[in-house]
Structure 1
Amino acid sequence: MRGVKVSLFGFGNVGKAVARVLLEKERFFRERYGIALKVVSVADTSGVVWLPEGIDLQEVLLVKETFGKLSAWTNDYEVYNFTPEEAVEDIDADIVIDVTNDRNAWGWHLAALREGKAVVTSNKPPLAFHYAELVGEAEKRDVPYLFEATVMAGTPVIGILRENLLGDTVRRIEAVLNATTTFILSRMEQGRTFEEALKEAQSLGIAERDPSGDVLGIDAGYKATILHCVAFGPITFREAMVKGIDGISQEKVKEARSRDRTVRLVAVVEKGKVIVEPREVSLDSPLAVESHENAAVIKTDLLGELAIKGAGAGLKETASGVVSDVIKAALRIA
């Protein structure tokens, strides 16, 4: 049985979901893969809890749920005031998990890789702006750098492109990558205005208090940029052409529906080109998704057209992508 030490950065909703999976499926991972995952540190914005012999995940979840911050956990554990860079350098871990929203996390991803540590992340901006540098460093050090959950949560589009279509030349990818905009557009088809649909999405927790990242197409643009990097080679988000749904009227949505079509925020990815914009798609298209689903249609020279559809949001769904990558990294390390 090989023990693998893990540092978890980010203990909001996604981080807690990842911790629950690691806790609840510990026996499954031991029996199926021969891997014993030991979380040696957990960090939120209040501090870093570090115990080399391993943290009780049940207890850390209880503290977070009860007090809302790890710094309240003062009885049994010392809470350190490390920066992420200090933590990845000082804490002895095999795998660093980043489920934060830290736009500057690429710096400490690099630090972890240079320490010979695998990195697993759901954090999009580091890859959307620094893919070449990060992946290049991981290849140079021969350590895993895995990011399935950055695009389509746990639906394995990154894995398909990175690991399965190795003999194919990808020609084009069309995808719907943002569930919040899909929800808003669906509600507009039912008669709500954009403002009404957005408020409902916010009340349900589907949209953030500041929804600009979703409605302006930025989130989908990050994801489409990452797809380009994997399928065609490195670019940055600055090279993407992005237009959101904020200019879409109720009339436009209803008129499309009257012709058996639906408006969705569609990403089109071709070699050297990323475009994200509202487009009409046929109701029988794989891209005519509803609710929190995402979809991608990958066109290649050999396979032809491959459609993949699944959850593009959700805590368990995102945790699925993160933990899958953790297992991949652990098996490679072992």
Structure 2
Amino acid sequence: MGEVILSIFGFGNVGRATAQVLLEKAGIFREKYGVNIKVVSISDTSGTVWLPEGIDLPEALLVKENFGKLSKWTNDYEVYNLSPREAVREIDADVVIDVTNDKNAWEWHRTALREGKGVVTSNKPPLAFHYEELIKEAEKRDLPYLFEATVMAGTPIVGLLRGNLRGDTIERIEAVLNATTTFILTEMERGMSFERALERAQKLGIAERDPSGDITGVDAGYKATILHCLAFRPITFNEAKVRGITEVTEGEIERAKARGKTVRLVARVEGGSVTVEPKEIPRDSPLAVESHENAAIIKTDLLGKLVISGAGAGLKETASGVIGDILKASLTLLKR
């Protein structure tokens, strides 16, 4: 039985969902993979709780649920005021888990790698802007740097492109990568205005309180940039051409319906080119998804057209991607 020590950054919805799965499936992971996973620190915006002997995850979840922040947790635990970079340096862990939205997290990802620690992340901007540097840093040190949950949540498109299609030449990827815009466009097809559809998405928890990253296409652009880095060569988000759904009118939706088509925010990824924009697509297209589903059509020289679809949002779904990467990282490190 091998032990792997984790340091978790971010204890919002995804962080708590990840902790819940680690708690519920600890026995399965020990039995199936021979891995005992121990969490020694958890950080949220209020501070860092750190106990080398291992944190009581049920209690951590209870404190966060009842009080909203870890700094309220005083029983047997000291709360440290550490920056992420300081925490990465000072806390003894094998793998750093980043489930934050910190756009500057690439700096402490790099620090973690330089400290000899693997990294698992669901955070998109570090990869959308610093993919090449981070991957080279990880490869130089032979450390896992894993990011399945950055694109399509737990639907394994990253693993597919990074590992399973090495013999294929990718020619093109077309994908619908943002569930919020899909929901809004679907509601508009049903006669709702853009404003009312967005409001409904926020009430249902599908859209954030600040939905600008989704509706302007930035979120899909981040994801499409990561796909380009995987399938072709490293670029940054600054090279992507992105247009969101804010200017899609009810008239455009109705005209598409009359032609037997639907409007979706479609990312097109080719060698040297990333575009994200609303497009009319046939109703029988694999990209004509609804609800929180994402889909991608990958065109390769050997397989031809490969379609992958599944949940692109949701707490359990995103936790699936994070947990899968934690296990991959753990098994990689234990083989040394």
| TM-score interval (norm. to shorter) | over 0.9
> What's the CA shift string for 1:264-304, capped at 9, x where partnerless?
00000000000000001111110000000000000000010
1:163 corresponds in structure 2 to: 163
| Partner AA of 1:4 in structure 2 | V
1:58 corresponds in structure 2 to: 58
State the 1:130 CA deviation: 0.3
Counterparts of 1:331 and 1:210, CA distance in 2:
38
2:96 corresponds in structure 1 to: 96
1:258 corresponds in structure 2 to: 258
2:330 corresponds in structure 1 to: 330
2:309 corresponds in structure 1 to: 309
2:297 corresponds in structure 1 to: 297
Counterparts of 1:120 and 1:287, CA distance in 2:
28
> What's the CA shift string for 1:68-124, capped at 9, x where partnerless?
100001121011101000000000000000000000000000000001100000000
1:12 corresponds in structure 2 to: 12
Counterparts of 2:176 and 2:95, CA distance in 1:
31
Counterparts of 1:159 and 1:257, CA distance in 2:
35
1:206 corresponds in structure 2 to: 206
- 1:117-132 superposed matches below 5 A: 117-132=117-132
State the 1:205 CA deviation: 1.2
Counterparts of 2:39 and 2:153, CA distance in 1:
22
2:227 corresponds in structure 1 to: 227
- 1:69-218 superposed matches below 5 A: 69-218=69-218
For residue 264 of structure 2, give the secondary structure of its aligned residue in structure 1: strand
State the 1:256 CA deviation: 0.6
Gaps (5+ residues) in structure 1? none
Counterparts of 1:212 and 1:47, CA distance in 2:
28
For residue 175 of structure 1, give the secondary structure of its aligned residue in structure 2: strand
CA RMSD, Structure 1 to Structure 2 (Å): 0.5
State the 1:328 CA deviation: 0.2
| Partner AA of 1:288 in structure 2 | A
Counterparts of 1:68 and 1:202, CA distance in 2:
20
State the 1:207 CA deviation: 1.0
For residue 195 of structure 2, give the secondary structure of its aligned residue in structure 1: helix
With normalisation by structure 2, the TM-score equals 0.99
| Partner AA of 2:317 in structure 1 | E
2:23 corresponds in structure 1 to: 23
State the 1:203 CA deviation: 1.2
How many residue pairs match? The answer is: 334
Counterparts of 1:105 and 1:250, CA distance in 2:
39
For residue 276 of structure 1, give the secondary structure of its aligned residue in structure 2: strand
Counterparts of 2:35 and 2:324, CA distance in 1:
13
Counterparts of 2:290 and 2:181, CA distance in 1:
10
| Partner AA of 1:200 in structure 2 | R
Kindly report structure 1 stretches of 4+ aligned residues shifted beyond 3 Å.
none
Tell me which moved more, 199-208 or 160-169.
199-208
With normalisation by structure 1, the TM-score equals 0.99
State the 1:147 CA deviation: 0.2
Counterparts of 1:269 and 1:311, CA distance in 2:
20
- 1:250-289 superposed matches below 5 A: 250-289=250-289
Counterparts of 2:227 and 2:329, CA distance in 1:
21
Gaps (5+ residues) in structure 2? none
Q: Percent identity?
A: 72
1:246 corresponds in structure 2 to: 246
Counterparts of 2:194 and 2:49, CA distance in 1:
43
Counterparts of 2:139 and 2:208, CA distance in 1:
36
